[in-house]
Amino acid sequence: MTDYDPDRDGVLLGNADVCRLLHVSRTQLAAYRADGTLRGYKIHARGHWKYPSNQPTLVEARAALQAQR
């Protein structure tokens, strides 16, 4: 994790949070990370992936959920 900036990226979300927000499986989440749809960071070499909350895909998903209410 070298370029994470909390002011720019917001809080880090875990796999489960992002999967719930996007309604996708962990396999699809990994595919989104691989194709560049989502940016993820590993805090520790053997740790879990974390995803900045302020990236466009997640911002749009939260906006869509807000519009449904």
DSSP string, 1-59: --S--HHHH-SEEEHHHHHHHHT--HHHHHHHHHHTSS--EESSTTS-EEEETTSHHHH
pLDDT at residue 1 greater than cutoff 90: no
| Cβ proximity of 18 and 58 under 8 Å | yes
Task: Quick: pLDDT tens for 21-63.
Answer: 999 999 999 999 999 999 999 878 888 999 999 999 999 999 9
pLDDT class of 2 with cuts at 50, 70, 90: low
Q: Which residue has the higher pLDDT, 35 or 69?
A: 35
- Domain residue spans of the chain: 13-68
Confidence at residue 53, expressed as pLDDT on a 0 to 100 scale: 93
